Amino acid sequence: MTDTDTPLAGLEVLDLSTMVSGGFTTVMLADFGAEVLSVEHPDYNDPVRDWSPDAGGDSFYWKNLGRNKKHISLDLSTEKGQELARSLAADVDIVVENFRPGTMERWNLGYDSLSERNESLVMVRLSGYGQTGPRATKPGFGTIAESLSTFSHINGFGESPPLSPPIPLADLTAGMFAVQGAMFALYARDNGGQSGQVIDVSLFEPLFRLMIGDVEAYDTNGVVPTRTGNRDVRSSPRNLYETADGYIALSASSQNIFENVMAGIGRSDLVDDPRFRTNADRVEHADAIDRVIGEWCREHSTDEAIAKMESAGAVVGPVYDIADTFADAQYQARDDMLSVPDEQLGDVATHAPVPKLSETPGEVRHLGGEHGQHNRAVYRERLGLTKEEYQQLRSEEVI
């Protein structure tokens, strides 16, 4: 497969962001063939490079988040750095930034400035609270966004405190919505006769959008969702159940699947129990149905429980850690981890691009590279700077 076979071949992206939300946006674009110029300050790294665990240098997180990109350094706070950024933005399709609103304008790098040279530019702006509103100029990180979105409030068990996720969920979700927004804007530009535009993505709104039905339920009936652990207030049984040697995940969101679960555990007699006859009945008596399933699961190993339930048509699966994914035949059959050569690590596994396209799939060409690794190629070859101009910018620490 060559670069021209990827769906975004020819798409050019200038990534002025730091950390996760912007980096995840651009790595997804890079995975599917976009040329991404990833900018870092000349004097210090993107903070993600220093996250643990590391590979005796850059973090594994950076190796993943920085893959498939060209890495350049540039001081955006200097006039010469700003002029270089405008020159780079003049012939790209997308600019991605995630500074606090107002920062880019202070550097003369806002959309109005950049679009003067590139009226077809799509600018993706990620921030904690969006570009407008009373919180807009406040600093924002994913943990606060997860809490503001109501996610943390509903995450946890019963009377336990609310829980934040163990991954930067708000940043990663915002990155996915940012990619969608960029693709929407490019389609409008290239097919509807539109010029470029700004994509305004906050960290809290993408997660809030996933709380399907909550806005309507509160507005109509004043319903405030509570923490329900691994249960789902919309259907039952749905939980993680302890087995003799681990855990299984089970969901029975339709009547026939519930009946299959009961057949799998040898309790088809409970299908006609008034407490469990309908989904609404089961939600009301979730403790009782979970107790029945839980007692059965604890008498069987994980493999036994899954085999018996699946033979009856139940929908069930194991609870994996990362080591389990490497050994799993489904992951292997789907090539979900790819081995990529890296100068620092040697051959190392990394996530395969997601989703899988049948004719123009994504690819991983290399993992996250070194700070300023592609400066010469970009500034000398792309922008056409002379050797003297390039050396002067280096000596002034503009690049």
Calculate what percentage of the chain has a pLDDT beyond 70.
99
223: in domain: no
Judged against a pLDDT cut of 60, whether residue 1 lies above it is answered with no
Q: What is the CATH number of the domain that holds 91?
A: 3.40.50.10540
Judged against a pLDDT cut of 60, whether residue 55 lies above it is answered with yes
355: in domain: yes
Q: Domain check: are 134 and 160 in the same one?
A: yes
Q: Which domain holds residue 200?
A: 3-209+334-395
68: in domain: yes
Question: Which position among 15, 31, 58, 171 bears the catalytic label?
Answer: 171
Q: What pLDDT, in 10s, does the model give residues 58-75?
A: 899 999 999 999 999 999
Q: What pLDDT, in 10s, does the model give residues 76-108?
A: 999 999 999 999 999 999 999 999 999 999 999
Q: Domain check: are 64 and 172 in the same one?
A: yes
| 190 has catalytic annotation | no
- Out of 318, 345, 376, a domain closes at 318
- Out of 269, 294, 318, a domain closes at 318
Dihedral sign, CA of 154, 159, 164, 166? negative
Helical segments of the chain, H only: 19-31, 60-65, 79-89, 103-106, 111-117, 142-148, 151-154, 169-191, 204-209, 214-221, 255-264, 279-284, 286-297, 302-311, 322-327, 329-333, 375, 387-395
Number of structural domains in the chain: 2
- Specify whether the CB–CB gap between 158 and 233 falls below 8 A: no
Which pLDDT value is given to residue 193?
A: 78
Q: Domain check: are 19 and 117 in the same one?
A: yes
Q: Domain check: are 381 and 300 in the same one?
A: no
Q: Domain check: are 26 and 95 in the same one?
A: yes
225: in domain: no
137: in domain: yes
Q: Domain check: are 51 and 8 in the same one?
A: yes
Query: Can you tell me the distance from the alpha carbon of 240 to that of 378, in angstroms, rounded to the nearest whole number?
Result: 51
Q: Domain check: are 13 and 124 in the same one?
A: yes
Q: What is the CATH number of the domain that holds 267?
A: 3.30.1540.10
Q: Domain check: are 194 and 57 in the same one?
A: yes
In this prediction the pTM is: 0.95
- Out of 260, 294, 318, a domain closes at 318
Give mean pLDDT, residues 260-264: 98
Six token digits for residue 340: 């990529």
231: in domain: no
66: in domain: yes
Which pLDDT value is given to residue 4?
A: 66
Q: What is the mean pLDDT of the chain?
A: 96
Q: Domain check: are 68 and 174 in the same one?
A: yes
Query: Can you tell me the distance from the alpha carbon of 28 to that of 351, in angstroms, rounded to the nearest whole number?
Result: 11
Q: What pLDDT, in 10s, does the model give residues 322-352?
A: 999 999 999 999 999 999 999 989 999 999 9
Q: What does the CA dihedral 147, 149, 155, 161 come to, rounded to 10 degrees?
A: 30
Calculate what percentage of the chain has a pLDDT beyond 90.
95
Q: Domain check: are 253 and 338 in the same one?
A: no
34: in domain: yes
Distances (CA, A) of 284 to 214, 290, 312, 332: 19, 12, 25, 40
Q: Domain check: are 129 and 16 in the same one?
A: yes
Judged against a pLDDT cut of 60, whether residue 2 lies above it is answered with no
Which pLDDT value is given to residue 3?
A: 58
Q: Domain check: are 354 and 268 in the same one?
A: no
Give mean pLDDT, residues 245-255: 96
